[in-house]
């Protein structure tokens, strides 16, 4: 099995942008930690992510279940063509790890990796919000991300430690090979009426609690709108 390689580690501080007098909603005040830059040398990975990395909205981002966000570098070839934006590239999604040799079809919930001195475990796919849309001024960008399946995924940190870009990630456990990130995205966004699949995924012990909560609401017939997440104050 080809090992994933972390080609870039990225961190960033919260930035505040926009003008309160702007007519266009896209130009109104907002803040985000999506603007990340390359972090060289040894980087400490704590239980809630990299030292020096900041989260703006801690109600929906960050925390132990979203400690580290990973995104395959190859996906940007697709986005350059889809969005007709030439300068979209590594870091554009706000990822902490830019990966090679890994994607949504080859990474599974519960996959546990040794990365430098840390041990990290896949917890959930990323559910895109309105902030990448604001950054690139593409209103339906969140929907494009989830419909494409090119979402990336999050890790929880089981063991804190230092790691450096250029390192391979060593897979040390794969308890749920049936639940690739791609399979999870399909249950969440494509096969919404298949309650059996929703129940099976919700019962996956290593799936993040917020995903379980969304799936259990579906099982109870309490479907909620995604509009607030995907459009937010942009629309």
Give the tens place of pLDDT for each residue, 42-73. 999 999 999 999 998 877 788 999 999 999 99
What is the CATH superfamily name and number for domain 5-234?
Answer: PK beta-barrel domain-like (2.40.33.20)
Give the tens place of pLDDT for each residue, 17-36. 999 999 999 999 999 999 99
Phi, psi of 63 (to 5 degrees): 90, 170
Phi, psi of 217 (to 5 degrees): -65, -40
Tell me the two tokens of residue 68.
């580290």
Domain boundaries, the chain: 5-234
CA distances from 185 to 4, 13, 69, 145, 212 (A): 21, 29, 16, 11, 13
Whole-model pTM: value is 0.96
């Amino acid at each position: 099995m080809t090992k994933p390689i972390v080609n870039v580690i990225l961190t960033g501080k919260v930035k505040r942008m926009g003008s309160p007098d702007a007519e266009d909603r896209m130009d109104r005040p907002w803040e985000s930690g999506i603007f990340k830059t390359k972090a060289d040398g040894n980087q400490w990975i704590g239980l809630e992510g990299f030292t020096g990395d900041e989260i703006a909205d801690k109600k929906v981002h960050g925390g132990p279940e979203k400690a580290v966000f990973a995104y395959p570098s190859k996906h940007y070839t697709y986005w350059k063509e889809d969005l007709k934006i030439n300068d979209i590239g590594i870091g554009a999604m706000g990822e902490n790890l830019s990966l090679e040799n890994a994607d949504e079809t080859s990474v599974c919930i519960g996959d546990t990796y040794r990365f430098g001195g840390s041990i990290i475990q896949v917890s959930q796919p990323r559910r895109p919000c309105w902030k990448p849309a604001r950054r690139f001024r593409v209103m339906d960008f969140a929907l494009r991300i989830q419909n494409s399946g090119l979402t990336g995924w999050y890790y929880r940190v089981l063991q804190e430690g230092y790691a450096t870009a250029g390192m391979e990630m060593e897979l040390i456990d794969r308890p749920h090979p049936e639940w690739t990130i791609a399979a999870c995205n399909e249950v969440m966004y494509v096969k919404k009426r298949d309650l059996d699949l929703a129940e099976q995924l919700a019962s996956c012990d290593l799936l993040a609690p917020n995903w379980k909560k969304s799936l259990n609401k579906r099982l109870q017939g309490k479907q909620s709108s995604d509009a607030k997440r995907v459009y937010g104050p942009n629309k």
